[in-house]
Amino acid sequence: MAREGYEDLDVAASSVGFSSIPDHNTSFAEFKVQTGDVRCRIDGNAAVAGNGGGQLLEVGETWNIQGADLISQARFIRNGSVSAVLDVIYA
């Protein structure tokens, strides 16, 4: 699988999605959670901090999302007072 792109995504108190997806055909995103825990949703709805706001992703974990539709719908928010950075590789 060839690497198509990379980004450091800042995740703070507002729900954000991937901002540097190489193109609409990008079908794989792998990311490592840095500096703070985050919540993630892949249904297009805004992630919400706290319980029930999406899947908890903790510092140091590596995750991937497969499928162009899920990548474009992914949303993240910090889960606590510490903002996070996601180190993302697209393929």
Residues 6+ apart with CB under 8 A from 69: none
d(CA 25, CA 10): 23
Higher per-residue pLDDT: 4 or 16? 16
Would you say 43 and 71 are in contact if contact means Cβ atoms under 8 Å apart? Answer: no
Q: What is the mean pLDDT of the chain?
A: 94
- Listed range (1-5, 12-16, 53-57, 70-74) with the worst mean pLDDT: 1-5
Cα torsion angle, 5, 63, 36, 81, sign = positive
Q: In this predicted structure, what is the pLDDT of residue 2?
A: 64
